Amino acid sequence: MSAILSVQGLSVQFGALKAVHDVSFEAQPGRITAVIGPNGAGKSSLFNLISGAIRPTAGSVRFDGRDVTSQAPHQLLANGLSRSFQITNLFFDLTVRENLRLAAQFLERGRGLFRPLVRSTIASHRVDELLGQFELRAKADELAGYLSHGEQRRLEIAVSLASRPRMLLLDEPTQGMSHTDTRETESLIRGLSRDHGLSILLVEHDVDLVMQLSDHVVVMHQGQKLAEGPPAEVRANPAVQAAYFGEKH
């Protein structure tokens, strides 16, 4: 199988600090790949490098065989790579439906200015589909700002998927969630991969979540890749235990 995402020698330096140093890994299509590591390991910086928020000092990011290094988020989206932050993509003073509608409008790009009816049907259909898939139909006409935290995170993921990307980058998708919301989000993410064939890269500090959810785990430590492999193998790695799991207990 050829990788959908390939990160090669990626590095970023803030002053003297090598926040990410020479990190390489691949993510396979339709699989859930996770990046974990203790506080300050460089996870967020790596996420920002891949999602185009910051530029690398060295290295490259290839998506679906194409060099996308330093591409802006909207260019990445046009190439099929979407990212979901922690609720920051939402407009709180718009309804759930309006938030989805705005994101789904991306599907109508390039279809010509003079075909408003066709364009509107495509976006409406996608909104309807997402309301059902993310169990937000009952909340469709509520303002996003009035939703519970868990519902907002669900809407945020739905917004990220509105344009039908092939890969989704998730930054700590369960941060600040209740236990119940975390379990629901976990099964939602699993469903996106298993039932919809979506490729997912998630950056997460919740080790238990990562171990249950991921097909492949990349462990970061002090800006570098410490290990990678299937969850059970990574968990059993003595270097990982010392650097990461050791810290937890």
Please tell me the distance from the alpha carbon of residue 228 to that of residue 219, in angstroms, as a whole number.
6
Size of the site for ligand ATP (CB under 6 A): 12
Pattern of binders to ligand ATP over 37-76, x per CB under 6 A? x-xxxxxxx-------------------------------
Closest by CA position to 61, among listed 49, 77, 79, 78: 49
- Shortest Cβ distance from residue 202 to ligand ATP (Å)? 13
Spell 153-164 as b/e; 16+ CB within 10 A means b. bbbbbbbbbbbe
- Residues in 171-230 that interact with ligand ATP by CB under 6 A: 205
∠ at Cα 204 (217, 95), nearest 5°?
130
Task: Give the residue with the Cβ less far from ligand ATP, 45 or 71.
Answer: 45
Does 14 engage in binding with ligand ATP (CB under 6 A)?
yes
Q: Which stretch binds ligand ATP (CB under 6 A): 1-9, 34-42, 63-71, 126-134?
A: 34-42
* Residues paired with residue 34 on neighbouring β-strands, in sequence order: 202, 217
H/E element holding 154?
Answer: helix 149-161
Task: Give the residue with the Cβ less far from ligand ATP, 14 or 91.
Answer: 14
Task: Give the pair of three-digit tokens for residue 246.
Answer: 């050791």
- Shortest Cβ distance from residue 49 to ligand ATP (Å)? 9
Task: Give the residue with the Cβ less far from ligand ATP, 37 or 52.
Answer: 37
- Shortest Cβ distance from residue 35 to ligand ATP (Å)? 9
Task: Give the residue with the Cβ less far from ligand ATP, 17 or 242.
Answer: 17
- Shortest Cβ distance from residue 169 to ligand ATP (Å)? 14
Alpha carbon 178 to its chain's center? 20
In the chain, DSSP assigns E strands to 5-14, 17-27, 32-36, 58-63, 66-67, 81-84, 167-171, 199-203, 216-221, 224-229
- Shortest Cβ distance from residue 189 to ligand ATP (Å)? 19
Contact footprint for ligand ATP (CB under 6 A): 14, 17, 19, 37, 39-45, 205
